[in-house]
Amino acid sequence: MKKKIGLVGFGVIGKYIFSKIEEEGLMEVDFVYDVDHKKTESLKPSLILNSSDELGEKSVHLVVEVANSQAIRELWLPILHKSDLLIFSLTSLADEHFRQEIENCARALNKKIYIPHGAILGLDGIYDGKKVIENVEVTTIKHPKSLGMKEDISEPLIVYQGPTRWACERFPRNVNVHAAIALSGLGFDRTISKIVADPSTNLMTHVIVVSGKGLHWKIEIESRSVGEVTGSYTPESAYQTVRRLCLSNAGFHLA
């Protein structure tokens, strides 16, 4: 029996996941919800949720949130009452009160909340090594337009440097990578974020530097933009995460 998926958000990543599920036919999209109804008008009416109130009527194996941090704050409760949840808008969890509330509820309902690696590599190493890791710094370099900047600049400019918690508040659409690293490792206050606006780049670059007892790692990831805030690697990474969560059978698995 095919696992049923719900999609919250139908932008670049949501559309990619949907198309890959349709193409491979190994899972089934049960519903799609986006507040911008124009994004979903090409879908069969039976797939579209017209109101968030209808989420409470849907029971699927997994709901994939690929919308924004506001959506996850508004919709998490009816989702968890029915399904496990995969969150891509991880900056929402920088709010400690909200993170604790959603985690406690998931435990009470015996539901799982998944944190994807998204656009980056190395989360497993950070998670496994957090007892010996002492410092984590994440630098993101993007074009000013991708950071929502309107003013013109002629050379690279550091627009933020400090704890990841406040980077999530200032740039909620741009630092989900930072939030994932903070959640996997030292937390939002001990993880340091640097955000650089570079008018000469057409890439999205993330540089992760980790150091600790007898270790030093530097991971650099570059990808081209396929949307305002989405790199070319992220949609395929997102789909493969959904695939792993829903199609794990007997045999070898990466862990």
The angle subtended at Cα 96 by Cα 83 and Cα 219, nearest 5°, is 85
Can you give the pLDDT at residue 250?
57
Please state, in angstroms and rounded to a whole number, the distance separating the CA atoms of residues 72 and 191.
23
Please state, in angstroms and rounded to a whole number, the distance separating the CA atoms of residues 20 and 136.
34
- Segment 64-113, tens digit of pLDDT: 999 999 999 999 999 999 999 999 999 999 999 999 999 999 999 999 99
CATH 3.30.360.10 residue ranges for the chain: 123-224
Residue 44: left (phi > 0), alpha (psi -120 to 50), or beta? beta
Burial class (CB in 10 A: 0-12, 13-18, 19+), 130: middle
Average of per-residue pLDDT across 139-159: 90
Question: What predicted TM-score, i.e. pTM, was given to this entire model?
Answer: 0.89
- Segment 41-68, tens digit of pLDDT: 999 999 999 888 888 888 899 999 999 9
255 pLDDT higher than 60: no
- Segment 158-200, tens digit of pLDDT: 999 999 999 999 999 899 999 999 999 999 999 999 999 999 9
Please state, in angstroms and rounded to a whole number, the distance separating the CA atoms of residues 18 and 10.
9
253 pLDDT higher than 60: no
For 15, 59, 164, 174, 246, the CA distances from 125, given in Å and listed in that order, are 30, 34, 19, 23, 23
219 pLDDT higher than 60: yes
Can you give the pLDDT at residue 231?
60
Q: Does 149 or 63 have the greater pLDDT score? A: 63
Can you give the pLDDT at residue 251?
58
Contacts of 188 by beta carbon, 8 Å cutoff, 6+ apart: 94, 96, 163, 164, 165, 168, 179, 182
Please state, in angstroms and rounded to a whole number, the distance separating the CA atoms of residues 149 and 128.
36
CATH 3.40.50.720 residue ranges for the chain: 3-118+234-247
Average of per-residue pLDDT across 3-25: 95
The CATH code of the domain at 3-118+234-247 is: 3.40.50.720
- Segment 117-126, tens digit of pLDDT: 877 888 889 9
The CATH topology of domain 123-224 is: Dihydrodipicolinate Reductase; domain 2 (3.30.360)
Can you give the pLDDT at residue 30?
96
Please state, in angstroms and rounded to a whole number, the distance separating the CA atoms of residues 170 and 160.
9
Please state, in angstroms and rounded to a whole number, the distance separating the CA atoms of residues 95 and 239.
27
Can you give the pLDDT at residue 230?
60
